[in-house]
Amino acid sequence: MEGTSQKRGKTAASKTAQYANRLNKAEKLLGYRFKDRELLLLALTHPSASEGNGTTGSYERLEFLGDAILGAIISRELYDSFPKHDEGALTRLKVSAVAGNTLSKLAEELKLEQINIFGSSERGTGKRGLQSALENVYEALVGALAIDGGMEEAERFVLHTLAPRIYISVAREPENPKSMLQELLQAHHVTPTYEIIDTDGPPHDRFFTARVLSDEDILATGTGHSKKDAEMNAATKALEILNHKPQENHNDSPKKR
C-alpha cells in the first residue's frame, strides 16, 4: 500500500509532465535550466489552480521570497549606478521600478500569461486580476531562481528584464506627494486613504487637519487652509516617515486609529 508521501510524489510528477511545455517555455524565457522542475512548476501555479484538481501549493511562498530578493537586487543596482543620488531619490527610483504596475506590464511583455497556471475560478476575474497574478508570478520566478540557481541567477534575470525600466527622471522630487505615497504603498499592495479629522477657524479663514492611513494604521497628519493642502501635507509627512528613518521619531510612527 502506498504511503502519503509516495502518492504526493506521483501527483507532483504527473503535474510536472502535464505542464512540461509550459515549463520548457519558462526555462527558455529565464535562460536557465532548473534542477528542481517542481519548484518551477510551483512558481507558475496560481492559488486558484489548487482548487479540486490535485495540485498542491501555489506561488505564494515563492512570491514572498522573490519580493524581498527583488527589492535587494534593485536597491544594490541603484546604489551602484547612481552614486550622486541621495536616499530620497534612490527610494523614488526603487518604488517606481518595483511598483505593481511596472511588474505587471513587464510580465505582459514577457508573456508570462502563456505559462502561468490558473484555476477555472480565476479565469473570469478580468484584466485587474490577471495583472496582479502576473506581477506575483514574476516575483515568484525570482524566488525560484534564487533557490535553484543561487542569487547570481536571480540577479541576472532581474537586471536583464527589470533594470532597463529604471528611469532617471523618476528621481526628481515629486510634484504631487499624494501620488508618490500611493506608488510607495501600492508596491506593498496597499492604497492610502485620507480623512479630515478637524476644522477650525472662521468661515473666511478655515484651517483643516487631515490624516492619511494605510489600512487602519495612521501614517501621519497634516494641516492646511484647504482640505487639499491638508491632505498633501499629510502625504508629505508620511513620505518623510516611511523613507527617512522613522525609528528616530517614535511620535510619528504608524499607529492604529
Active site residues: 67, 139
**How far apart are alpha carbons 98 and 67 in whole angstroms?**
9
**How far apart are alpha carbons 33 and 88 in whole angstroms?**
38
Contacts of 18 (CB under 8 A, 6+ apart): none
Longest dimension (CA), the chain: 84
Nearest to 158 by CA among 32, 24, 35: 32
Contacts of 144 (CB under 8 A, 6+ apart): 34, 39, 40, 42, 43, 62, 66
In the numeric block, the cell 537586487 is attached to 73
